[in-house]
Structure 1
Amino acid sequence: MMAKFAKGLLFGAVVGAASGLLFAPRSGKETRQKFVDELDEWTDLKEDFTDKLDHFKESAQALQVAAEIYIDPFIEGLNRDIENFNFQTEPRIAQINEQIEKIQSELPEMPKEN
């Protein structure tokens, strides 16, 4: 999808530049030279864009490889940490609930407000 967009953008830019040069009020020789200069400039821009796109693709592939290497172990470690946390907190929560029940049973009943 990105490649189609880039090609369309490049094509539109070239056609627009060529149209502007062809309809400019210059002599034929000046117009041809201007066209050649612009074409060289656009060629350089296209090559630069292609190089950057290739670099982006390489970076995206490297990121994907790194993600495949590190994400699964990270998730497994995180799940182990959560399980350990739950294992440690469940008895404490039970103790707290027992204390709450004990306090509630020892408190006198409060009159309800209407």
Structure 2
Amino acid sequence: MMGKFSKGILFGAVVGAASGLLFAPRSGKATRQKFVDELDDWSDLKEDFTDKLDQFKESAAALQEAAEIYIDPFIEGLTQDVENFKFQAEPRLEQIQEQVEKIQSELPEMPETD
């Protein structure tokens, strides 16, 4: 989608520049100079865009490297913490369940109400 948009912008710029040249109230020399100046401006804009795109690619690569370095160890540490918690919690849950069963067995039967 971005490719179509960029092509549309470029096409519009070319058509606009050509229309400006055809309908410009200048002499041939002034028109040629304006055309050269416009081409220089577009060339500078293209270089700026290319530089910014390269910087973006470098930043994305650095972000991907950082993710590869930090995400896997983080997930492994988190998994280990969960396993440790489960290891510590399971005996306690069993003790609680035993106490609940003991209390329930010692309680007198309550009559059911309809």
**Contact residue 22 and residue 31 of structure 1 kept, 8 A:** yes
**Contact residue 21 and residue 35 of structure 1 kept, 8 A:** no
**Contact residue 21 and residue 31 of structure 1 kept, 8 A:** no
**Alignment CA distance shift 1:106-1:48 (3 Å):** same
Tell me which residue corresponds to 2:13: 14
Q: RCO (CA 8 Å, sep 6+): is it higher in 1 or 2?
A: 1
Percent identity (aligned) = 64
- Find the residue that maps to 2:109 and give its secondary structure: coil
* Uncovered stretches (5+) of structure 2, i.e. residues with no partner: none
Aligned pairs (5 A) from 1:31-110: 31-110=31-110
**Alignment CA distance shift 1:22-1:90 (3 Å):** same
Aligned length, in residue pairs: 113
Note the alpha carbon deviations across 1:5-56, whole angstroms, 9 max, x for none.
5752553353243234234442244443333332222211111111010011
**Alignment CA distance shift 1:33-1:104 (3 Å):** farther
Which whole-Å CA distance do the structure 1 matches of 2:18 and 2:61 have between them?
39
**Alignment CA distance shift 1:88-1:5 (3 Å):** farther
**TM-score normalised to structure 2 length:** 0.76
Task: Tell me the C-alpha RMSD between the 2 structures.
Answer: 2.6
**Alignment CA distance shift 1:9-1:69 (3 Å):** farther
- Find the residue that maps to 2:91 and give its secondary structure: helix
